[in-house]
Amino acid sequence: MNGEPIQNVPQEVEGKDEFIKDFFVLQQQEIAVKRDELLVRKDEIHSNENIALASIASQEKIELKSRDVFLSNQKTKFLLWGVLAIVIAVVLIFSMNSGKTEIAMELIKIGGAVLLGYFAGVNRGKAQILEKQNQQPQND
């Protein structure tokens, strides 16, 4: 009787040992899979970070370029106004020195009317924009 229980115990332990070994193998495989998933996630985060940095750099370049274009347009506009003012001043001075004051008076009348119309239009546009901005918060 003593021999039978001793033989049964090692078989049960032996079966449990295989189960435990299989369990540990599965756990190791699961840990390896999770490690691989973490590495993939880390690479994904790194890739997203690179994309975000590239996007920020691109936006920065676009903003710099648009600022340069705006400044160029402003310089051109001021240059045009300056040249126009110099031409009108030269014509006025030449006509006053040559005794043709009628031409100078007509230029002053026309130039004054044009300048008044320009400034009125600019101020009208600004007023309309302010009206729209004031109406938008009330509508929201």
Q: What is the pTM of this model?
A: 0.48
Cα–Cα distance measured from residue 114 to residue 121, given in angstroms and rounded to the nearest whole number: 10
Range list of β-strands (E), the chain = none
Task: List per-residue pLDDT tens for the chain, 140 residues long.
Answer: 444 444 444 455 556 788 888 888 999 999 999 999 999 999 999 999 999 999 999 999 999 999 999 999 999 999 998 998 898 888 888 888 888 888 888 888 888 898 889 888 888 888 888 888 888 777 65
**Phi and psi torsions of 98, nearest 5°:** -85, 0
Residue with tokens 């320009």: 118
pLDDT of residue 81: 87
pLDDT of residue 60: 92
- Model pLDDT, residue 15: 62
Q: What is the pLDDT of residue 4?
A: 44
What angle, 0 to 180 degrees and rounded to 10, lies between the N-to-C axes of helices 3-97 and 101-139?
150
